Amino acid sequence: MRRVVAGAALALLLSGVDAGAGMRRMIVLDLPYARVWEDALKAVEGYPLDRAADGVIVTGWRERPAREGESAFERVSERVTLRVERVSDLVTRVTVEVEAQGWRDGTWVSIHDTTATERAVLAKLREAHG
C-alpha cells in the first residue's frame, strides 16, 4: 500500500494546479516540511532574497530578457513569493505567486500573465526534490 501512496505523491508533486489568478499550487506528499522548505529555497536561487522565514519566501526584483509574447517590452522584472505550509507531518502545500513588470516607453507596466515563471519555479522545486 505504501508504494501506491508514493506513486500518488509523485503524481501530485509533478502537477502544479491553478490556485487563483496569478498563482500556482503544488501539494507535496511523503516529504517532511523541512525538506520541502529547503527545496523551495533552491527553486528561487538566482533571485535576491528579501525574506525567508515563517513559511514565506519573498524574492527581490530580478530582471530578465523578454520571452516570446512579451516582445512589446524592452526588459522584464519579476519577483516571486512562495508560501510553504505544513498540512500534516508528511504533506506540505507550496503556493507560488509572481509579480512582473515590463519596461516600455520609459515606464514599467504590469504583466498579468505570469504562468511561465510560476511553472518554471515549480519545475525547479521538483528538480530540487529529484
Q: Are strands 56-59 and 107-111 parallel, antiparallel or unpaired?
A: unpaired
Domain ranges of the chain: 2-129
Please state the pTM of the whole predicted model.
Answer: 0.81
DSSP secondary structure letters along the chain = -HHHHHHHHHHHHT--EEEETTEEEEEEESS-HHHHHHHHHHHTTTSPEEEEETTEEEE--EEE---TT-TT-SEEEEEEEEEEEEEETTEEEEEEEEEEEEEETTEEEEE---HHHHHHHHHHHHHHH-
What digits encode the pLDDT tens for the residues 31-62?
A: 899 999 999 999 999 999 999 999 999 999 99
**Residue 101 neighbours by CB under 8 Å, 6+ apart:** 76, 77, 78, 108, 109, 110, 111
| Residue 1: predicted pLDDT | 35
> Considering the chain, what percentage of its residues have pLDDT values greater than 90?
66
Mean per-residue pLDDT, 115-122? 93
For residues 31 and 129, the answer to whether their CB atoms sit within 8 Å is: yes
pLDDT band at 7 (very low <50, low <70, confident <90, very high): very low
Average pLDDT over residues 106-114: 93
CATH topology for 2-129 is Alpha-D-Glucose-1,6-Bisphosphate; Chain A, domain 4 (3.30.530)
